[in-house]
Structure 1
Amino acid sequence: MKTFNPDEITIDCQDGQQLAATLYKPESEVKGAVLIGPATGIKRQFYQSFASYLAQQGYGVITFDNRGIGESLSGTIRASKASLQCWGEQDMPAVLEALKSHFPGKSYHLIGHSAGGQLVGLMHNANELSSIFNFASSSGQLSNMKLPYSLKANFFMNVFVPLSNLFFGHTKSQLVGMGEPLPKAVAQQWRLWCNGQGYVKTAFGKTVGQHWYHELSTPSMWVNASDDDIAIDENVADMLSVFKKLKVDTLTISPQAHGLAEIGHMKFFSRKSEGLWQHALNWLEQHSKG
């Protein structure tokens, strides 16, 4: 794959928060425009190869760091007020508006990774998406997970997160291979939602007063990997139960069928997994208009 030179941009959210983002402009006619929603605590650089691939196929793309993560952290992480909820309510809508500004008059698509797909129903402008393609997006419900991974997941959420927040004022998730350090409220909400059913549904009528999970009727594809211990079929179904009108297709892919040693929760976006990207491209081609 040839080298692609994107542009670094800054995106302003409605509440004044600024986000670090990367803009990928195709050299050819723009077929559509894609917002890549990152997983919890994952920086935008992780999606660089995948975003470059989409741009070379004619799609405009924006990747970004959620507030409190990577270059979108302003001040100290202890002082960050970021939460999963504001990622969906503030950050993702702002990035979609930026996508519309850079690629006017096109079709707009979300490619969500884990939380990047789960939070779509908090976006006030989500109905402007022509399609949704999610990988490894599920409720992450701890009680559905299988042994031995469930022991590791429960330890991280219910022991490591509260202790790390108590002693350090944030979650040092990088110490256990769980992405970037997380602002306290992000980790607290993540823990609460994964201990419940339906992920964000846990917060309906509590911290979440308004949402669009019951209204969205967008065509969506939910892809998980057979060797993913988190986004197992039961948790994908649990997440989908929160949506009432969404048009849903599901697909489970196995590493063996694609000549890969592993896909898991993260490696769909790895350059080594480029053979998998055709799934996303086919979906975009089906739902795009130039």
Structure 2
Amino acid sequence: MGAARDDVFIDEITFPATDGYPLAGTLFLPRGTKRHAVLINSATAVPRKIYRGFASYLAHRGCAVLTYDYRGIGDSRQPAMVGYNQPKSLVGFRASMSDWAAQDVTAAVRWMRERYTTLPLAYVGHSFGGQALGLIENNGDISRAAFVASQAATWRLMASPEKYRVYAFMNFVGVPLVHALGYAPAWAGIGEDLPKGVFLQWADWVSSPRYLFDSKLPALENFAKFKGELRALCFSDDPWATRAAVELLASGFSAIKPEVLTVKPSDVGAKAIGHFGFFRPEHSDTLWRGVAEWIQGEWCVSG
């Protein structure tokens, strides 16, 4: 997660989703002048704490940064009525991936836009976090978006043999298990527990040839509303967010021409990066710096 920096102030906050549901967040602020505002949007089943090091790094560079948990995840999961510091069961908890976008991500963008009215607002999306940008109605408030391993995650565009494992798990293990238990358990290998509706919608999208673009969500029309700059990073050793999958997601932003860059681990002196490795602190002088400079309008590299 990375050590806290002396020149960064960290504040644990709660803010309401569009329907009033309380979302837990962490605000990272530079002790000096704020020059940019940045919202970091999580991958599926990933708590905000894994983005702490990167958020602190951005704040060190003069950004006001917010990380947060979607409903049902991390600290945005309701506590149990009994027991010490135990989360409430997700059985019966109503949420879907489209709810995360419409109610949680939309509210996070609004909160940052209202709080930092004079600063350019950038959006960092990891995996689902990038997908959500196209689904929210207020994506016009974003001036720049940086996607990290964010893709149209149909199993067909994943690397072999991972694609077959994912298809089999989703359809023959995950879906029956979720129907039996009423939620998706972390012990099945998905990261954190997931609400039933989130997992079932995710499984449906993964099984569809064009992922979420094959759904009939009215919110898909919001992809065309985004007119900011978009840079999407994919990593050559990531079996999920392959170049083809990243390009498919990027193609949904029809009003702009997104830039897709492929990074090899050897490009940054690493042995592996994969789907989550970008957020490891050893990349602070390479990957982190590159994204930060681009967010702040200082990096102009084609690839």
Q: Please list, as runs of the form range in 1=range in 2, the aligned pairs for 1:226-237 lying within 5 A after superposition.
A: 226-237=236-247
Give the corresponding residue for 1:143: 156
- Are 1:97 and 2:110 an aligned pair? yes
Give the corresponding residue for 1:268: 278
Give the corresponding residue for 1:41: 45
Q: Please list, as runs of the form range in 1=range in 2, the aligned pairs for 1:1-290 lying within 5 A after superposition.
A: 2-3=5-6, 4-74=8-78, 75-172=88-185, 174-204=186-216, 207-208=217-218, 211-274=221-284, 275-286=286-297
* Mapped partners of 2:195, 2:298: distance in 1: 36
1:130, 1:287 within 8 Å by CA — same for their partners in 2? no
Partner AA of 2:295 in structure 1:
L
* Mapped partners of 1:287, 1:33: distance in 2: 15
Deviations, residues 199-254 of structure 1 (Å, cap 9, x unaligned)? 321223xx435631123221100001000001101111221222211231111111
**Further displaced range: 59-68 or 246-255:** 246-255
Q: 1:214 to 1:103 in 2, by over 3 A?
A: closer
* Mapped partners of 1:140, 1:247: distance in 2: 20
2:137, 2:219 within 8 Å by CA — same for their partners in 1? no
* Mapped partners of 1:282, 1:196: distance in 2: 36
* Mapped partners of 1:199, 1:83: distance in 2: 15
Q: 1:46 to 1:38 in 2, by over 3 A?
A: same
TM-score, L = length of structure 2: 0.89
* Mapped partners of 1:197, 1:38: distance in 2: 24
Deviations, residues 164-190 of structure 1 (Å, cap 9, x unaligned)? 212211111x22442111101101111
Runs of 4+, deviation exceeding 6 Å: none
**How many residue pairs end up in the alignment?**
285
Unaligned runs of 5+ in 2: 79-87
1:35, 1:99 within 8 Å by CA — same for their partners in 2? yes
Deviations, residues 129-148 of structure 1 (Å, cap 9, x unaligned)? 01100011111111122321
Unaligned runs of 5+ in 1: none
% same residue: 31
* Mapped partners of 1:93, 1:273: distance in 2: 29
Deviations, residues 73-110 of structure 1 (Å, cap 9, x unaligned)? 12431121111101111111111122123323111010
CA deviation after TM superposition for structure 1 residue 21, in Å: 0.5
Q: RMSD in angstroms over aligned alpha carbons?
A: 1.7
Partner AA of 2:125 in structure 1:
G
Partner AA of 2:249 in structure 1:
M
1:137, 1:222 within 8 Å by CA — same for their partners in 2? yes
**Further displaced range: 175-184 or 83-92:** 175-184
TM-score, L = length of structure 1: 0.93
